[in-house]
Amino acid sequence: MSMNVGSSGGDDGAMCDINTTPLIDVMLVLLIMFIITIPIMTHAVKLDMPRPTDAPPPPVKPEVIDIEIDFDGTIIWNGTPVSGVDAVEGFFRSESQKDPQPELHLRPDKRAKYDVVARVLAAAQRNRMKKIGFVNVAEFSE
């Protein structure tokens, strides 16, 4: 910082010196911030990641059981005609004990009676079959 002392004359010229104090203050603040943030950027955390060879086995696909119900009330279990709902219920009892539980794909004919379909679904529910799905074959049959 400079000061014009002793000049009593009419020199009213502008002072051309730069005030460097704010510039030095800003530079010191930036330097301190840089010093503080350097250890954060180089900080590392060690992780024990599983190796690619230790991957879990692929999930087992459950067995699929196709149940078709014809227009005349005939129940077909995986391509084999079954005598009635009581026989289907016996199959459900044995299949519900498996792990993983098989999936039921129910394909009722569009002319099948609702009573037969409802009785098959009730038998599946009583035997705690959890994976039941309806398969639509009407759009492929025509």
Tens digit of pLDDT for each residue in 87-138? 999 999 999 998 889 999 999 998 999 999 999 999 999 999 999 999 886 6
3-state secondary structure of 75: strand
For residue 13, pLDDT beyond 80:
no
> What kind and span of H or E run contains 122?
helix 114-126
Residues 75, 89: Cα–Cα separation, whole Å: 12
Residues 63, 67: Cα–Cα separation, whole Å: 13
Of 97, 123, 120, residue with least CA distance to 107:
120
- Token pair for residue 49? 């990641």
64-141 CATH fold = Nucleotidyltransferase; domain 5 (3.30.420)
